[in-house]
Structure 1
Amino acid sequence: MKVTVFGCGYVGLVTGVCLASLGHEVACVDVDASRVDLINAGQTPIYEPGLEALLRENLAQGRFRATLDARAALRGSRISMIAVGTPDRDGRIDLSFVETVARTIGAHLKGDPAYHTIVVKSTVVPGTTLGLVRATLESASGRVAGEGFGVAMNPEFLREGFAVQDFMEPDRVVLGHLGAQAGEDLEALYAAFHCPRIHVTPTEAEFVKYASNALLATCISFANEIYTLCEGTPGVDGRQVLEILHMDRRLTPQHGGESVRPGILSYLFGGVGYGGSCLPKDLNAITAMARERGLPAPLLEQVVRVNRDRPAAIVQRLATELGGLQGRLVTVLGLAFKPGTDDWRNSPSQPLVEALLAGGARVRAWDPLAEAAAVAAWGGRVALHRDPRSALEGAHAAVLATAWPEIQEWPWEELAAAMASPVILDGRNALKDRGWPSPVRYVPVGRGPALPSRESHVQP
């Protein structure tokens, strides 16, 4: 099947390359000439394990190409997928890129009588596909959706760092469509997959995506609120509290005498907060939608609030450990929102750095993949390092914000000795099993102050 994908960003490129690997002929359309040239040269503009090798394979086989020419890409295509960005603008989703692509496809439909199915892959608020997208397509084409062309919404569930695996080995494929023919086209597109393919309305498909991300965000904010309570309670380790909670058979079921640990439990640990290109944007969008429609969403509003407040609470705890932040040199370890990606969009490291600077601290940052653009917004006030020694030398404290696995292998005794005052605030509890020499003050998140010794209660 010939497929046109609009957008060579994270979702569009992964989707296009993986569909080509399934045997489809795919053209990815973008407006950025340098990005198109880079992709056609076999290089990916994003860091995603396994994607570049797959791209080169499909370029060589002639099943994939990137292009600036939307008209040529649409010629003879059976399916178009809208996978452009839906950025957060003042707490609301910006659909301008989606609308522009819909208008482009509609203009193509006006001059081409062949049946065509348009699939929204971008994350959009419920009602967008049958509202804005459908109206734009009908206006630009002069045809009726569901009769002259198909309209569908097919949400993605890709985890950064595992996107190729998630696409090629899905646990379910959600097919929200208007019209039987659109459903048949989507079935043919994903015929190679043996997982459940679930047919719903486009609006239900949109809701599935938001419900999925809202649940993950709620798990993280719940865990962070438990950590906050534990941090204020002497003698309590929040990490241990949650690990014991995970043992509940409803969370960790038994199968054949063995415990089956579901992946969602990784979201039920506290830290510095959720981030990235999806969860913050999608939670803002769904709560904004609720307000605009006069619908109550108090739980999700609080999920957003708990997450927003968590980085400031981490920095306040550091200030207490240091006796103040003014003039202190603090190294933030990790700028990406999670290990295995160079994506620092809406990373919790950003409000962490903001709070440190606001408190008068001097800030360095270390990250193995983030580029200089990640610190450009601070106008030279934050230096980005690749070498851990140069990042930590002379620092009064380090805050571990991203649990890059190599951090566990660092020679911490030597690094701590090079610090001005070896205070390690572990925002991910990634170093909790390490033994620390006595000069080091290791401060994990979620742990309350030590209980007073028995002797302190003995009356003279």
Structure 2
Amino acid sequence: MHRLFPDAIPYDKHLPEYSDRSLILGADLALVCVPTDETRSGEADISIVVEVVKWLDAELICIKSTIPPGTTNALRQLTGKRIVFSPEYEGETPWQKGLTDPLVWPFIFVGGDVDDANAVLEHFQARLGPNLTYLAADATTVEVAKYMENAWLALQVTFAGEFYEIARAVGADYGTARELWALDPRMSKWNTLAFPNNRGFGGKCLPKDLAAIIAAAKLAGYEPRLLEEMVATNKRFRDGA
């Protein structure tokens, strides 16, 4: 984010050189990038987001952390502040670095009150120019979209892992099968490499975000069985079974 907004003043209470809270009070726009780790129940721990939003004094607050559907609206009601959500992208694979560069990312979407969302988009537009796709939507829809993206990435990895096992079981070569399959223009090679010694998906985002959206769906009364099966299959891969 600092590459995108080089004049921004960073704050991090854990880093002495950036721990002066007074420097960021009264900002035109505050970007909140804090952890939302998995709790024992699988839900996202949004306590740090809530803590920061409560004390932040800014004209507009834009949450970048991945948060469960309904969180932005709940925080607006709780604090009375102008809060929106715009997801962050931090890939963990070495061949996708270009996609995580905010200066070349092809779109920006912001969820929240339409006037607030458009006001935040203007900050991005002033920095990134006219050629990107800019979209404002309600906050819950954007929150779901972010989880949908990460769930899809996890599904691709799980699908590849399953067919790797099928190919091995029947005596086929997965790498060749993958190349033949990818010739169909409807297919995509993204996340379909299978590594025998590093199976399934891991990292900081996909496991905890799958757990969080599963928990959110159950809380809303829906049983997301496909996502649950993905998690179970991934555990089997990661455990080497």
TM-score (norm 1): 0.48
Match of 2:181 among 245, 252, 266: 245
Counterpart residue type for residue 79 of structure 2: L
Unaligned 5+ segments in structure 2 are none
Counterpart residue type for residue 119 of structure 1: C
- 1:72: Cα distance to partner? 2.4
Say whether 1:80 aligns with 2:66: no
Higher strand share: 1
- TM alignment of 1:21-170, pairs within 5 A: 25-32=7-14, 35-37=15-17, 67-75=18-26, 77-90=27-40, 91-105=42-56, 108=57, 116-131=59-74, 133-138=75-80, 145=81, 150-160=82-92, 161=94, 162=97, 166-170=101-105
Mapped contact 1:30–1:68 kept (Cα < 8 A): yes
Query: How big is each residue's C-alpha offset from its partner over 1:254-302, in whole Å with a ceiling of 9 and x where there is no partner?
Result: xxxxxxxxxx513123231111111111111111111222213111111
- SS in structure 2 at match of 1:191: helix
- Determine the C-alpha separation between the residues in 1 that align with 2:83 and 2:184: 43
- Determine the C-alpha separation between the residues in 2 that align with 1:154 and 1:165: 14
- SS in structure 2 at match of 1:300: helix
Q: 1:230 to 1:185 in 2, by over 3 A?
A: closer
Q: 1:165 to 1:278 in 2, by over 3 A?
A: closer
- Determine the C-alpha separation between the residues in 2 that align with 1:165 and 1:277: 15
Counterpart residue type for residue 276 of structure 1: G
Say whether 1:18 aligns with 2:18: no
- Determine the C-alpha separation between the residues in 2 that align with 1:181 and 1:213: 26
Larger RCO: Structure 1 or Structure 2 (Cα < 8 Å, ≥ 6 residues apart)? 2
- 1:99: Cα distance to partner? 0.6
Counterpart residue type for residue 160 of structure 2: A
Match of 1:270 among 180, 194, 198: 194
**Structure 1 segments (4+ residues) deviating >4 Å:** none
- Determine the C-alpha separation between the residues in 2 that align with 1:236 and 1:36: 56
- Determine the C-alpha separation between the residues in 1 that align with 2:156 and 2:223: 20
- SS in structure 2 at match of 1:122: coil
Question: Which residue pairs with 2:166 in the alignment?
Answer: 229
Which protein has the larger Cα radius of gyration, Structure 1 or Structure 2?
Answer: 1
Query: How big is each residue's C-alpha offset from its partner over 1:109-139, in whole Å with a ceiling of 9 and x where there is no partner?
Result: 6xxxxxx1111110001111111x213322x
Mapped contact 2:28–2:60 kept (Cα < 8 A): yes
- 1:71: Cα distance to partner? 2.7
Counterpart residue type for residue 25 of structure 2: L
Q: 1:151 to 1:179 in 2, by over 3 A?
A: farther
Q: 1:181 to 1:281 in 2, by over 3 A?
A: closer
- Determine the C-alpha separation between the residues in 1 that align with 2:117 and 2:152: 29
- SS in structure 1 at match of 2:201: coil
- Determine the C-alpha separation between the residues in 2 that align with 1:101 and 1:203: 20
Counterpart residue type for residue 73 of structure 1: I
- TM alignment of 1:435-450, pairs within 5 A: none
- Determine the C-alpha separation between the residues in 1 that align with 2:100 and 2:45: 29
Unaligned 5+ segments in structure 1 are 1-14, 38-66, 110-115, 139-144, 252-263, 317-460
- Determine the C-alpha separation between the residues in 1 that align with 2:227 and 2:68: 15
Say whether 1:298 aligns with 2:225: yes
- Determine the C-alpha separation between the residues in 2 that align with 1:164 and 1:217: 17
TM-score (norm 2): 0.88
Q: 1:36 to 1:212 in 2, by over 3 A?
A: farther
- Determine the C-alpha separation between the residues in 2 that align with 1:293 and 1:18: 36
CA RMSD, aligned part only? 1.9
Question: Which residue pairs with 2:106 in the alignment?
Answer: 171
Higher helix share: 2
Question: Which residue pairs with 2:135 in the alignment?
Answer: 198
Q: 1:135 to 1:197 in 2, by over 3 A?
A: same
- SS in structure 2 at match of 1:27: coil
Question: Which residue pairs with 1:349 in the alignment?
Answer: none
Counterpart residue type for residue 126 of structure 1: P
Mapped contact 1:74–1:80 kept (Cα < 8 A): no
Counterpart residue type for residue 105 of structure 2: P
- 1:212: Cα distance to partner? 0.6
Match of 1:207 among 118, 140, 144: 144
Query: How big is each residue's C-alpha offset from its partner over 1:341-384, in whole Å with a ceiling of 9 and x where there is no partner?
Result: xxxxxxxxxxxxxxxxxxxxxxxxxxxxxxxxxxxxxxxxxxxx
- 1:165: Cα distance to partner? 5.4
- Determine the C-alpha separation between the residues in 2 that align with 1:244 and 1:226: 13
Counterpart residue type for residue 113 of structure 2: L
